[in-house]
Amino acid sequence: MNEARTPVSTPAGAPAVGHSNMANAIRVLAMDAVQKANSGHPGMPMGMADVATVLFSRFLRFDAARPDWPDRDRFVLSAGHGSMLLYGLLYLTGSQAMTLDELKRFRQLGSRTAGHPEYGHAPGIETTTGPLGQGLGNAVGMALGERLLNARFGDRLVDHHTYVIVSDGDLMEGLSHEAASLAGHLGLGKLIVLFDDNHITIDGDTSLSVSDDQPARFAAYGWHVQAIDGHDADAVADAIAAAQASDRPSLIACRTTIGYGAPTKAGSAKSHGAALGEDEIAGARANLGWDHPPFEIPTEILQAWRAVGAKGAALSAAWDARLAEADPASRKELLRRLAGTLPEGWREAIQEVKRATCEAAPTVATRVASQRVLEALAPRVPELVGGSADLTGSNNTKVAGQEPVSAQDFGGSYINYGVREHGMAAAMNGLALHGGVVPYGGTFLIFTDYCRPSIRLAALMGQRVVYVMTHDSIGLGEDGPTHQPIEHLAALRAIPNLKVFRPADTVETAECWELALDSADGPSVIVLTRQGLPTVRREHSTENLTARGAYILAPAERARDVTLIGTGSELSIALEAQGLLAAEGISAAVVSMPCWELFGAQPQNYRDEVLGAGALRIAVEAAAPFGWERWIGPGGDVIGMRGFGASAPAKALYEHFKITAEAVVESVKARLAPG
Ligand SMILES: Cc1ncc(C[n+]2csc(CCOP(=O)(O)OP(=O)(O)O)c2C)c(N)n1
């Protein structure tokens, strides 16, 4: 290993301990913590210790004492299995939250040092990583967020880099294509990706499974690319400096040895994902010239690292000074956006739409209803950043006044994500995590499958991301079964901490948007129709009835025989069935249930009141019935889809699949019949 030309990390007063000692501190902490936990991934932190040392000590602008400083550089460890690299760096640089005890509790219940980095466990963990490719996708969103805020607030307040460490696995994932392609197109020049080019994955040498020329691939995306020896500190420093100087996103392929220093396991998959063992660790200590006991970092080395962590205090203080000098309106606006507080008066947009709808009672697709809501919201909520995966006209996600964002102009608020659903969803997580923007993006509901890994992570991280998912059932008609969602509602409802909304008309759509924007601690999917729907909420109420998840839309005229529960487009079928049943002397209440998650959180007595304790319950939803047992109970029924859809006009499909008021009536009568 080559000592850096200039000693790393010699901020005033700090001992000059040399690059190797600092990098070896990372290596031994990773070995020791994995050994103590008897599980984890030592190889990657040991291989990337040199790169990380150069990045953190010479380039990364962060303040360990103030890890949430808004203009800090972002660091994302996309190869989340190497979590000990990040935990070690946080400890060494002096993060208050990341104590030595936490490192000793690696992978234990309740520790900050989970198996993979988890957002919220400790400041400095900018995103949750582990599912390969996601961190890179998030980083693209963070780098985009930086540019969007920079365009509004200027270089003096917003001007930072996003650095990412990715592995072979990250770059094999399909998501890496979407993310890197988008970043190249948008010219995200402050995004710098350090590729741990160690030629090893779990199965062995990468030659077993991949022959890509990664630098050539990234060059084709329009990136600035370099390939270096990742153990040569000067080469790493020169490459990062060159990457900074480029106005394109940068890939630095850092050729490294996985498990660097381990006598028999270095360079092999054996060091990837298991404790090295006492003998191997002893050998590594000898190879690295490190004769200190486990978890013990000699004072001067720790001091050198602490000095690195302290360097940024001056940077963050200078930012405070610039913020203080900024014009008061900009300052206030930036701080408001960063705090995630919506601007005063935004709710008036919701009320406006609700009021106007009740008066006009239009028949309109809920995707168009959503656009109306956005038309009212967008001028009032400038931090809303919309987009679509090449279905803007179908998703109705773009409204007047929203300009497209381009590499030449980040002043707009609409992202043409292209046909990159997964990349869009991962980038939206990054936008939300960056802060200062509230992302929403659309595609067809069927393609939530293409977004699902990122949606799940948004839920796990508790991020306010809004998915506008249109064409929500067989009601989309002629495009047929490849495009007709069946199991998607159930699959989305199965994700914890995700609100799935299926509004029935414009009023409910407005209420869903209000709740989605209020949901600062979790994502929302707003599921919308292609086809026109009648207005079912005719009476204006300022109260958000959707907030309770379900409510009685049309009460029974006398003691209730049956509760008909509808969502979205099937609510009008339930209402029609109510009339048909009344003609036969059967008393039905109609319940609208736009959001299971919110209804599930209501007290039992409210749920009983709405569902009718003891009443027969029939649900109508043009989707797989999976999960409805929870609401209909053992004697109930679901009028829904039992298989895939078909290609035909919507009306014919509803009749063919027997999702009709008559089918509801038949089911009710069969179940109420004596004997
Ligand atoms: C999406 C996804 N698939 C599979 C895994 C399981 N996994 C963890 S690391 C890894 C590959 C390891 O190779 P590499 O990414 O090159 O990391 P290194 O061995 O260099 O540490 C795999 C398949 C995962 N974390 N995420």
Please tell me if the CB atom of residue 95 comes closer than 6 angstroms to any atom of ligand 1: no
Instruction: Indicate whether 543 pLDDT > 80.
Output: yes
pLDDT band at 16 (very low <50, low <70, confident <90, very high): confident
Cα distance between residue 537 and residue 360, in whole Å: 11
Nearest CA to ligand 1 atom 16: 168
Amino acid identity for residue 99 in this structure: T
pLDDT band at 1 (very low <50, low <70, confident <90, very high): very low
Q: Are 623 and 641 in contact (CB under 8 A)?
A: yes
- Helices (H) and strands (E) counted in the chain, each on its own, are 25, 20
Please identify, by atom number, the ligand 1 atom nearest to the C-alpha of residue 172.
15
DSSP H helical ranges for 519-620? 571-583, 596-600, 604-611
pLDDT of residue 12: 55
Per-residue tokens: 398: 């773009």
Cα distance between residue 480 and residue 497, in whole Å: 31
Angle at 449 between CA 444 and CA 455, to 5 degrees: 95
Per-residue tokens: 76: 């994302």
Q: Are 312 and 52 in contact (CB under 8 A)?
A: no
What pLDDT digit, counting tens, does each position of 283-335 carry?
999 999 999 999 999 999 999 999 999 999 999 999 999 999 999 999 999 99
Q: Is the pTM of this model over 0.85?
A: yes
CA of 134 to the centre of ligand 1 (A): 12
pLDDT greater at residue 14 or residue 258: 258
CA of 99 to the centre of ligand 1 (A): 27
Q: Are 47 and 85 in contact (CB under 8 A)?
A: no
Please identify, by atom number, the ligand 1 atom nearest to the C-alpha of residue 196.
20
Q: Are 269 and 86 in contact (CB under 8 A)?
A: no
- List phi, psi (to 5°) of 468: -105, 100
What pLDDT digit, counting tens, does each position of 596-605 carry?
999 999 999 9
Instruction: Indicate whether 145 pLDDT > 80.
Output: yes
Ligand 1 pocket test target in 39, 41, 167 with most atoms within 8 Å of CB: 167
Cα distance between residue 247 and residue 468, in whole Å: 33
pLDDT of residue 216: 98
SS3 161: coil
Return the closest-CA partner of residue 123 out of 176, 70, 162, 59: 70
**Would you give the end-to-end CA distance of the chain in angstroms?**
85
Return the closest-CA partner of residue 250 out of 71, 55, 425: 55
Ligand 1 pocket test target in 34, 193, 202 with most atoms within 8 Å of CB: 202
